[in-house]
Amino acid sequence: MMIIPKANKLDSSQLQEIESIVGEFDCTILEIQGHNQCVYAILGDETHALMFKRIAGLSFVRKVDAIESPYKLMDRRSALSEHQVQLGISKPGMNSPFIIGGPCTIDPQNPSLFIETAHALKDVGVNALRGGVWKPRTNPYSYQGDNQAIEIILQAREETGLPIDLEVMDSDQLKIALDAKVDILQVGTRNALNYSLLKEIGKLSAGSGSGVLLKRGRHVASPDEFIAAAEYIVAAGNPNVMLCPRGTTPPLDGYRNHPDESITPLLKNRTWAPVVVDPSHSVGHAEYVLASSLAAIAYGADGLCVESHLKPAKGIGDDPKQAITPEKMRELISSCREMWKHRYQPRD
């Protein structure tokens, strides 16, 4: 159950009054700070009719929502349905595709190449920069990342003014990223079912304004399993989640994964959260990234996360295979803006 106050937020005496009511029924309250409005989730066995009546009767409560849904916060009918994720000056889903671009992995030996890529991407119109500081590699002998690399992406943010996105895989990385006020915390496909990490991210980033880009589990997570994973983050306090389909396994022979842009309208119809598709890991080859991006936007995606590098051949992660150059990114952005006008939109 979700409590929606008449004002944007409950004051402390109102919160105390509600806490004492729910306490009688062995429940607790969690404040979730939306963009314009706070909502309050009742945690515990919230099915008591008497508790519902007593809270609904309070003069400062607009309504108590009791929607039947496996993901009561992520549901399109939930009190958060009007919530708008905001990253820097961008609101994914509004006006034009929200584009995250940048190399797979930041090369700590070559900071200037990352910085130059960042400037080139800003010039062609990306809305946020990506770059891996810590990497989930299939092979333990591959480059695993380096704490120092965060300084390079922070410098790129400073110089370009663009919000930054990077993946965190554990608590230590999460804390470093939060201290650095990283704008978008990425959860990779390998951690898509790591519920302890999802809860920790939601809790520690609550109220920070940081967004979370949650990749789809590559084991072919169903729309409901994917949305429920995001629910963990929101239920722990951070509603700024974006869902990121990125291809599933087994791969379609010839692609890196099995492209899954077509899950987008299913997500859009069930949840209010922006969908930001990753075409790069999905197809895994630079030459198919434009087609996959256009398909994603046609299916109603609010944005894209695209690997892009000034000199893909010099990339130390996935870039040599799948990164597009900033010049290709320019074409991609302009074609996707055209496609945006014809995109699928959720039914009411």
| Residues forming the site for ligand PEP (CB under 6 A) | 104, 132, 136, 188-190, 215, 246, 278, 281
Residue 136 binding target from Mn ion, ligand PEP, none, CB below 5 to 8 Å by type: ligand PEP
Tokens in use for 224?
């409901």
CB 73 within 8 A of CB 234: yes
Q: Are strands 303-307 and 276-277 parallel, antiparallel or unpaired?
A: parallel
Confirm if 277 and 304 have CB atoms less than 8 A apart: yes
CB of 52 to Mn ion, least distance (A): 47
- Count interface residues toward Mn ion (CB under 5 A): 2
Using the minimum distance from each CB to ligand PEP, give the nearer residue, 239 or 247.
247
The partner in contact with residue 215, picked from Mn ion, ligand PEP, none with C-beta cut-offs of 5 to 8 angstroms by kind, is ligand PEP
Instruction: Pick the piece of the chain touching Mn ion (CB under 5 A) from 20-28, 103-111, 198-206, 329-337.
Output: 103-111
- Distance, CA of 153 to CA of 115 (rounded, Å): 8
Q: Could you count the other beta carbons within 10 Å of the beta carbon of residue 280?
A: 30
Output 136 or 161, the one with its CB closest to ligand PEP: 136
Q: Is residue 113 classed as helix, strand or coil in its secondary structure?
A: helix
Stretch that binds Mn ion, among 29-37, 102-110, 269-277, 294-302 (CB under 5 A): 102-110
The answer to whether residues 264 and 296 touch, using CB atoms and an 8 Å cutoff, is yes
Reduce the DSSP state of residue 43 to 3 states and report it.
strand
For ligand PEP, give the closer residue by CB, 168 or 227.
Answer: 168
Q: Does 319 bind Mn ion (CB under 5 A)?
A: no
Residue 337 touches which of ligand PEP, Mn ion, none (CB < 5 to 8 A by kind)? none
230 binds, among Mn ion, ligand PEP, none (CB under 5 to 8 A by kind): none
Q: What is the number of other CB atoms lying within 10 angstroms of the CB of residue 25?
A: 16
* CA 268/CA 276 separation, integer angstroms: 11
Select 122 or 309, whichever has its Cβ closest to ligand PEP. Answer: 309
Q: CB-based burial of residue 28 (10 Å sphere; 0-12 exposed, 13-18 middle, 19+ buried)? A: exposed
According to DSSP, the residues that pair with 145 across neighbouring strands are 134
Of these, 83, 233, 318, 343, which contacts Mn ion (CB under 5 A)?
Answer: 318
Do the Cβ atoms of 321 and 313 come closer than 8 Å? Answer: no
Query: CB-wise, 102 or 300, nearer to Mn ion?
Result: 102
CA distances 253 to 190, 245, 287, 312, Å, are 21, 19, 15, 23
Q: Which stretch binds Mn ion (CB under 5 A): 221-229, 271-279, 313-321, 326-334?
A: 313-321
Q: Rounded to whole angstroms, how far apart are CA atoms 113 and 316?
A: 12
In the bound state with ligand PEP, the residue whose beta carbon lies nearer, of 70 and 136, is 136
Contact present, 166 and 212 (Cβ < 8 Å): no
**Contact (Cβ atoms closer than 8 angstroms) between residue 66 and residue 49:** no
When the beta carbons of 104 and 221 are compared against Mn ion, the nearer one is 104
C-beta nearest to ligand PEP: residue? 188
Rounded CA gap, 32 and 54, in Å? 21
**Residue 256 binds: one of ligand PEP, Mn ion, none (C-beta under 5 to 8 A by kind):** none
Q: How far is the CB of 189 from ligand PEP (least distance, A)?
A: 4
3-class state of residue 306 by DSSP = strand
Q: How far is the CB of 195 from ligand PEP (least distance, A)?
A: 17
Of residues 32, 51, 104, 129, which one binds Mn ion by CB under 5 A? 104
Q: Could you say which of Mn ion, ligand PEP, none residue 246 binds, taking C-beta under 5 to 8 angstroms by partner kind?
A: ligand PEP
Least Å distance, CB 217 to ligand PEP, is 10
Residues that bind Mn ion (CB under 5 A): 104, 318
